[in-house]
């Protein structure tokens, strides 16, 4: 079946869909995006994603292209037209099309909107979780406003490629003070020998992940102690467990960091329990 995309008011076959070459998203990465999990044909935690989208647009002073309720309708329709049962839906909004100039375009330029969706085999994710993933660490080299979910992801691309070339699945950034910030496309977590779950606070240096925020609520409900504080790669190497979170991975156990086995070298019980219980605490629409 041909995939269908929504591009600036039209649902089109992916083979025919296109954006203007002077779209600022293409020329300047002047835009924002969201990735939402699709589970059983329903969108997971859509209100949280739309709220974060609204914040990102506001921080970059990009106008909302349509009411959030209308964006939700479009995203649901793209999922429906692509018959996605399990997968992701991707939304991107740029500042729009204008003559190339670093400054903002004149008032009246409409933001561009693109929505796509694709299926992901849930069995593949389950298999990855059963064996766990490996991560490497790389120096933090991104701009300071990583709290904005912008499309300017070249450092993330290079970090992810470095991980793949090292035989790993993900890369964790390490800041100038020696602390882990987050992954190239995920949030980073460890579990101490005492069973406490640790992740960096979202006040600086990381994106406030939607999966991360849901998991915090799950930890409280499951009476698992959470510590929001920085941790070093050395502490992670000596942890009982480690894992990452993202909409595309949910909770994914980490079994090695920079070639050093974490705990037993196998997915740990806390990460596996959180993965199993995660969707009890999400919303579906």
Q: What is the pLDDT of residues 204-255, one digit of tens each?
A: 899 999 999 999 999 999 999 999 999 999 999 999 999 999 999 999 999 9
Q: What is the pLDDT of residues 52-99, one digit of tens each?
A: 999 999 999 999 999 999 999 999 999 999 999 999 999 999 999 999
Q: Catalytic: which of 149, 203, 216, 266?
A: 149
Q: What is the pLDDT of residues 167-198, one digit of tens each?
A: 999 999 999 999 999 999 999 999 999 999 99
pTM: 0.96
Q: Are 65 and 85 in contact (CB under 8 A)?
A: no
In this prediction, residue 1 carries a pLDDT of: 64
Across the chain, what does the average pLDDT equal?
Answer: 97
Q: What is the percent of the chain where pLDDT is above 70?
A: 100
Active site residue 149: yes
């Amino acid at each position: 079946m041909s995939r269908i995309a929504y591009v600036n008011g039209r649902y089109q076959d992916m083979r025919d869909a296109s954006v203007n070459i002077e779209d600022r998203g293409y020329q300047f990465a002047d835009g924002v995006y969201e990735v939402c999990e699709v589970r059983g044909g329903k969108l997971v935690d859509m209100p949280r994603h739309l709220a974060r989208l609204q914040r990102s647009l506001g921080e970059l002073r990009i106008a909302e292209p349509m009411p959030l309720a209308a964006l939700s309708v479009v995203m649901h329709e793209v999922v429906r037209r692509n018959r996605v049962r399990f997968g992701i839906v991707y939304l991107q909004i740029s500042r729009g099309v204008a003559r190339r100039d670093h400054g903002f375009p004149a008032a009246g330029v409409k933001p561009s909107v693109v929505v796509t969706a694709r299926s992901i085999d849930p069995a593949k994710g389950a298999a990855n979780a059963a064996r766990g993933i490996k991560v490497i660490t790389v120096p933090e080299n991104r701009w300071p406003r990583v709290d904005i979910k912008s499309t300017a992801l070249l450092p993330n691309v290079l970090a992810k490629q470095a991980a793949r070339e090292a035989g790993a699945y993900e890369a964790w950034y390490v800041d100038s003070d020696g602390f882990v910030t987050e992954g190239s496309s995920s949030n980073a977590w460890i579990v101490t020998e005492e069973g406490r779950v640790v992740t960096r606070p979202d006040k600086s240096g990381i994106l406030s992940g939607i999966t991360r925020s849901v998991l915090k609520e799950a930890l409280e409900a499951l009476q698992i102690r959470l510590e929001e504080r920085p941790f070093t790669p050395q502490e992670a190497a000596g942890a009982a467990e480690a894992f990452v979170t993202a909409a595309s991975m949910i909770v994914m156990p980490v079994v090695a960091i920079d070639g050093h086995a974490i705990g037993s070298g196998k997915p740990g019980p806390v990460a596996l329990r959180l993965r199993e219980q995660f969707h009890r605490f999400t919303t579906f629409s």
